[in-house]
Structure 1
Amino acid sequence: MSVLQLTLLLSLTIALTPAERTEGIKYEQNWKVSTSTWEKSIVAESKEYNSMVCSLKCHNSNKLCNSFHFDKESNTCVLANIKFMEDIQEEESMLVFLKADACLGYEPDKNETVFLVGDGSNNRAQSYPFEFPLPTGFSVFRQGGVALLNGIIYIYNSFTHKCFSNVGGNWELLTKCVNRQRQYASMTTVGNYIMIFGGSLGSNTFFNTIERFDGVTWTTLANGLTYARVAHCNVAISSTEVLVIGGYHTPYNYTTYISAMEKYDINGNHIETLPSMELARAISGCAVYNNEVYVTGGLSSTYRTGMSSVEVYNIQAKQWRAANNMKRVRWGHDLHVFNGKLRVFGGGDAVAKISMEEFDGINWIEDNTNLSKPFYRGGSIVIPLN
């Protein structure tokens, strides 16, 4: 092996004894190790989907692995167990970067990462808490959608009207994309399809159309929404049904907020108009949790500077109720069930855009860690790591 500069992530969750620390098990950043030591320290090599999976394989090997290298060009994951660091000559060394907290705190029931692409310039893509290969070349991203279908991530950038997919950790530009350019639509996975609803093109063109993607082709359905919507949200409640919630309605004027919630099937048929929310909301977050639909924050005609309030819809009882407010006022955020709990990501003012909150069943608790980049009016998905 030639002298290389490798990026290695240390994946340790076991408390280290002082003796182990002095022997160099807990490494610092930018140490040097010889290529021969690295080759002698390798314990396993395999083809993996991405660097997150490689990191978890190192974690799950317990003491057999304390570092790894993932080659994204060949999708090769190499696990190693380095016993010591060396004082060697520069020409005989390779640079080793060990990030000691890469997977600290990992637990078997907490094995998800969230991938987010926020509205704006300078590539607002990020992942939390585990590393995920990020797309490049997004000079500007505007909300179209992010969805996961059959293990493949799809991104629709409505600003450039281009679609991307992630297969094996590599991003590819797709030749086929959403038929109609539509900004601030809602996009989600429903069963074996990705569906995109409504949206706009400028301030004077709002759409009520629905498109469906089967993994190969986007098809504009014959049926559409009962009326045009933009800045709404949607959640799948089964493999064939989806709810479309809130948003704006009237072109030219973004003050016509919607409180209505409607149910559609995968063919775009309007199944049912359900009870409306207490407050009409746009650019809010929504998710299904414990057979109930949670709708968080957003803007309304009454609260034009954002809300922290939360409404909950019981699917079986067909009734809305109020839940405790979030800690922060948020709009343009996303809401997901993440490692078994509701978690809100970003949105709102400059501080809120990099913050997160988790719902403990009663109260919202603000996380003591932040996102690496602001997240606002974008798209996001939760990715299982196994």
Structure 2
Amino acid sequence: MERTGYIFYLFMIVIVNGHLICDETSDGKTTAVLLGGEFEGKTETYPCNLAIGDVGDIIGLGAAVLNGQIIFCGGTAGPSRNNCYKNEGFDWIEIASMNIKRYFFTMTTLGDKMLAIGGYGGVNNENLNTMELFDGTSWTLLPFNLTSERAHHCTVPLSVSEVLVIEGNTKNYAHSKVEIYDINQGFIGELPELPTPRAEFGCALFNNEVWVAGGGGADFSLTMLVEVFNLASRTWRTGPSMRYARVGLTLEVVGDELIAFGGYGYPDSLERFNGENWIFDVEPMHYHHYLHSSVVISC
């Protein structure tokens, strides 16, 4: 703890109650942290400038924030991986590994636990239908599976036990199934399908609606299309399209804006949705981000 505190002191960053913040006068702002990915694998934070170490050019990794600490797992940099690491400043400390090697899967925080879903991997690098839960100490395979194998999908937490899963890629085809799972019960039910099948897209809960942006369609074309699911009415609508088509991007809510980060086509750029329009930042990001992962923390 003394070493970690010293590192953060040098860079004017401290840990308060387990959360990274920029200085002692933090005003509740948040920042996205982009990890891994193809091309460079450099860590980048936006809009705050935090000192967080690189994880390398691992693609298809999963990342989440558990009890205020960034954790990333899996991915592939040649062979698939099940290793997990927690962040301590510039250092990434290895913790308990997942039971199954996974890449292009999702990791989602649900209360004081973290859920890994699907992906490619296992013994023969096949599509996976398994889920496993991390309690802060160890991973446990859940006794129930997804209704079908999938990778390049996307998840949004709905409560401390439920997660919404948008299908993504199953056996090399983009699909559009939308389902709810509970970590205590398994499959809960199916919701109206995503109107446009796609994979490698971004999704996020924004203003109490599920936003889906970009990705690759059933014909493997890139799209700028945005579709929005209203949880109250359980209906989809078409949202304002992004300025540029992106695949392999991530979507995060930072402050009061929805932000699309990177992706093939424009890997060193971002677009911000302010509630009415997407704004393309003409100032490029410092690094390229594609098939990466991202989380949001305090700054």
TM bucket normalised to smaller: 0.7 to 0.9
Name the one with the larger helix percent. 1
Give the equivalent residue in structure 1 for 2:207: 290
Distance in 2 (alpha carbons) for counterparts of 1:368 and 1:52 = 28
Distance in 2 (alpha carbons) for counterparts of 1:257 and 1:265 = 24
Shift of 1:175: 4.2
User: TM-score, normalized by length of structure 1?
Assistant: 0.68
Task: Considering Cα pairs closer than 8 Å and 6+ residues apart, tell me whether 1 or 2 has the greater RCO.
Answer: 2
For residues 338-353 of structure 1, the aligned pairs below 5 Å read 338-349=254-265, 352-353=266-267
The structure 2 residue matched to 1:189, chosen from 102, 106, 109, is 109
Shift of 1:120: 2.5
Contact 1:188 1:196 in 2 (8 A): yes
User: TM-score, normalized by length of structure 2?
Assistant: 0.87
The structure 2 residue matched to 1:248, chosen from 160, 169, 178, is 169
Shift of 1:163: 1.2
Shift of 1:268: 5.6
CA RMSD of aligned residues (A): 2.5
With over 3 angstroms needed to count, the CA separation of the structure-2 counterparts of 1:139 and 1:317, relative to structure 1, is closer
Distance in 2 (alpha carbons) for counterparts of 1:47 and 1:361 = 31
List gaps (5 residues or longer) in structure 2. Answer: 1-8
Give the equivalent residue in structure 2 for 1:49: 15
Give the equivalent residue in structure 2 for 1:158: 75
With over 3 angstroms needed to count, the CA separation of the structure-2 counterparts of 1:358 and 1:220, relative to structure 1, is same
Give the equivalent residue in structure 2 for 1:237: 158
The structure 2 residue matched to 1:133, chosen from 44, 51, 54, is 51
Give the equivalent residue in structure 1 for 2:3: none
With over 3 angstroms needed to count, the CA separation of the structure-2 counterparts of 1:124 and 1:157, relative to structure 1, is farther
Shift of 1:134: 2.5
For residues 335-374 of structure 1, the aligned pairs below 5 Å read 335-349=251-265, 352-374=266-288
The structure 1 residue matched to 2:237, chosen from 321, 325, 345, is 321
Distance in 2 (alpha carbons) for counterparts of 1:129 and 1:310 = 23
Per mean C-alpha deviation after superposition, the further-off stretch among 176-185 and 138-147 is 138-147
Identity of aligned residues (%): 33
Name the one with the larger strand percent. 2
With over 3 angstroms needed to count, the CA separation of the structure-2 counterparts of 1:322 and 1:122, relative to structure 1, is closer
The structure 2 residue matched to 1:146, chosen from 63, 82, 93, is 63
Deviation readout 1:313-336 (Å, 9 max, x if unpaired): 000100000011100001111111
Larger radius of gyration: 1
Give the equivalent residue in structure 2 for 1:221: 142
The structure 2 residue matched to 1:210, chosen from 131, 137, 142, is 131
For residues 95-114 of structure 1, the aligned pairs below 5 Å read 108=27, 111-114=29-32
Shift of 1:131: 2.6
Give the equivalent residue in structure 2 for 1:380: 294
Partner amino acid, structure 1, of 2:223:
M
Distance in 2 (alpha carbons) for counterparts of 1:154 and 1:223 = 24
List gaps (5 residues or longer) in structure 1. Answer: 1-6, 10-45, 61-106
Residues matched between the structures, number = 284
